[in-house]
């Protein structure tokens, strides 16, 4: 019996259709997880979408894990203008729900951390939610430490859990 193959790491544009599709899966899952599907939550949902929006001109890299032609994990990395290019933010980490528990999140995050180190980032920051225990477990296992909720999440998503990884 042949050994199972590992998904391939691919570096793509933020606008790559597979990356866009992975982020749409994440949006759908988070809307359900956080109960933002009712019409009464439309204004709050719009504010959250604005806070989570990414200016693609700040994106340093978008990483996909691809298994037999199908994107199964995604993470983005963007440079923040707040720290002379030394502070970068991890964005939109998602693993296909049917493939969780196989180390794909760790693989995509390990690649993101390596990219940031090579690029000269001093630290990585990221935001997760209080209803994402699997994400929080992954980040803390990789050495990310809790930090105060930062803008733009503090105003519209105070339940956020934010983390940093000091790289040098």
For the stretch 123-137, pLDDT in tens is 999 999 899 999 999
**Secondary structure class of 74 (helix, strand, coil):** strand
The domain total for the chain is 1
User: What residues make up the domain containing 20?
Assistant: 8-118
Q: Do 58 and 90 touch, CB atoms closer than 8 A?
A: no
| Banded pLDDT at 146 (limits 50, 70, 90) | very high
* Alpha-carbon separation of residue 128 from 8, 67, 107, 148, 159 (angstroms): 25, 25, 18, 12, 9
Residue-wise pLDDT for 19-33, tens only, equals 999 999 998 888 788
Is the preceding peptide bond at 132 cis, omega within 30 degrees of 0? no
Q: Is 126 a domain residue?
A: no
Q: Is 109 a domain residue?
A: yes
Q: Is 70 a domain residue?
A: yes
Q: At what angle do helices 104-119 and 133-141 cross, to 10 degrees?
A: 50
Residue-wise pLDDT for 72-126, tens only, equals 999 999 998 765 668 999 999 999 988 998 999 999 999 999 999 999 999 999 9
Q: Is 153 a domain residue?
A: no
Q: Is 105 a domain residue?
A: yes
| Banded pLDDT at 159 (limits 50, 70, 90) | confident
Q: Is 132 a domain residue?
A: no
Question: Residue 108 corresponds to which tokens in the numbers above?
Answer: 């995509």
- The pLDDT > 90 percentage for the chain reads 67
- Going by C-beta distance under 8 Å and a sequence separation of 6 or more, which residues neighbour residue 16? 62, 64
Q: What is the CATH number of the domain that holds 70?
A: 3.40.630.30
Q: Is 62 a domain residue?
A: yes
User: Long-range contacts of range 91-94, CB-CB < 8 Å, 24 or more positions apart?
Assistant: 91/54, 91/59, 91/126, 92/22, 92/23, 92/26, 92/52, 92/54, 93/126, 93/135, 94/22, 94/23, 94/25, 94/26, 94/29
Q: Is 34 a domain residue?
A: yes
Q: What is the pTM of this model?
A: 0.91
């Amino acid at each position: 019996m042949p050994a199972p193959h590992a998904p391939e790491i691919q570096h793509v544009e933020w606008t790559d259709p597979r990356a866009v599709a992975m982020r749409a899966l994440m949006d759908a899952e988070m809307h359900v997880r956080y109960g933002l599907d009712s019409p009464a939550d439309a204004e709050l949902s719009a504010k959250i979408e604005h806070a989570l929006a990414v200016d693609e001109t700040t994106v340093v890299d978008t990483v996909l894990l691809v298994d037999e032609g199908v994107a199964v994990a995604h993470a983005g990395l963007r440079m923040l203008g707040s720290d002379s290019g030394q502070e970068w933010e991890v964005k939109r980490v998602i693993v296909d729900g049917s493939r969780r528990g196989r180390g794909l999140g760790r693989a995509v995050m390990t690649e993101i951390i390596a990219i940031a180190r090579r690029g000269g980032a001093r630290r990585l920051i990221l935001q997760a939610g209080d209803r994402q225990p699997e994400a929080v477990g992954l980040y803390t296992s990789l050495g990310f430490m809790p930090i105060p909720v930062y803008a733009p999440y503090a105003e519209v998503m105070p339940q956020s859990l934010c983390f940093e990884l000091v790289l040098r």
